[in-house]
Amino acid sequence: MISIQSKLPHTGISIFSVMSKLAEEHHAINLSQGFPDYDCDPKLLNFVTDAMQKGYNQYAPMPGLPALRELIAEKVSYLYGANYHPESEITITSGGTQAIFTALSSCISSGDEVIIFEPAYDCYAPAVKLLGGLVKPYELSPPNYEIDWEMVKKLFTANTKMIILNSPQNPTGCVLSEKDIKALIKLTKNTDVLILSDEVYEHIIFDDNKHQSIALYPELRERSFITASFGKLLHATGWKMGYCLAPELLMKEFKKVHQFNVFSVNTPMQVGITNYLKDKETYLGLSDFFQKKRDFFRSLLVETRFKLLPCNGSYFQCVSYANLNEEKDTDMAIRLIKEYGVASIPVSAFYTKSTDHRILRFCFAKKQETLEKAVERLMKL
């Protein structure tokens, strides 16, 4: 018998896999894991299949297809006025999670401290721990999950290596304001602290909010990795396509890891995406598209006994059931699947200490009839 010492002894299977599997087993409507239940644009599919037919089926260059990197550089310059060099500052990745893992791997060493805001997307902390880093969680509270930057300052030590940001935020749907960014600039000034800004929901932001990309701020850009996702942008999460932006100094290290991890990313997808994204409307209309879904979903949910939390971005709506019962959110989520046929994500899964505010996350990147059917079931609660 061999034995191994787990490198992540306290980590289980991701909550997304757990809930999606349960949803399937119980034939529940799956509003847990974040993915659309409608297909992507047929035009995009044609571009990709066309690329395969035309023979774009061998390795792409290690950092990605030059034409796609150029297009991303143009997009970032157009949206945020930032100049990222396609050759040295942009890499195409196999999705946002790989970009995040690679960014962390390229700079986190044993003993480095990484500040994360919880509830936090579930891949950050395990990646930091695998690299020998120490997670410094800062717990935010519902309903607005605001950051008190004085508290962040208190978490700073001589070993602070990085702060991870995520706006629009998964799971809360909160967004960072200009005031937050100004506080961050002040806090990191004259330090070597790096930033990993997970901006996979950059194109899904509502009402009068403006996406506060790190790319907008030269003072932060120089110390930041920005990760992005084509899955969210194209309604194609299963393609696992994304990218990373970083100044040359950081991107050089990123590429060293990337080349021995995935080497390069799916060629025909890159060709297809390049042709598709030439039309800016493909991403400029996304916020409107999802705002309609958010508004529709919320208008249905107000008829249930849940209390709605604000949702300023992303395709997630959080609700509180604290007024209904004392059940743990994991138990409540399982009961909703088994007894009511609707799957959600318990938000305690995103806290190091499993802090439970009795909040559930629903994904509204779904067809209108799916949302209607789900809420019809939730009305019985």
The residue ranges that bind ligand GLN (CB under 6 A) are: 14, 16, 33-34, 170
Q: Which is nearer to ligand GLN, 250 or 363 (CB)?
A: 363
Closer of 14 and 259 to ligand GLN (Cβ): 14
Supply the minimum distance, in Å, between the C-beta of residue 247 and ligand GLN. 26
Question: To the nearest whole angstrom, how small is the minimum distance from the Cβ of residue 9 to ligand GLN?
Answer: 21
Min. distance of Cβ 156 from ligand GLN in angstroms?
29
Min CB(303)–ligand GLN separation in Å: 25
3-state per-residue secondary structure call for 298-365:
HHHHCCCCCEECCCCECCEEEEECCCCCCCCHHHHHHHHHHHHCEECEEHHHHCCCCCCCCEEEEECC
Angle subtended at Cα 264 by Cα 109 and Cα 108, rounded to the nearest 5 degrees: 10
Amino acid at 107: C
Residue closer to ligand GLN, measured from CB, 173 or 272: 173
Question: Minimum distance from CB of 148 to ligand GLN (Å)?
Answer: 25
Q: Where are the alpha helices (DSSP H) in the chain?
A: 15-25, 42-53, 66-80, 96-105, 124-130, 149-155, 178-188, 218-221, 230-234, 248-261, 267-277, 281-284, 286-301, 329-335, 368-378
Q: How far is the CB of 198 from ligand GLN (least distance, A)?
A: 10
* Distance from the Cα of residue 363 to its chain's centroid: 13
Q: Which residue is closest to ligand GLN by CB?
A: 34
Closest CB to ligand GLN among residues 14, 355? 14
Cβ proximity to ligand GLN, 16 vs 296, nearer residue = 16
- String of DSSP letters for 255-313: HHHHHHHT-S--HHHHHHHHHHHTSTHHHHTHHHHHHHHHHHHHHHHTTSSPEEPP--B
CB nearer to ligand GLN: pick between 60 and 345: 345
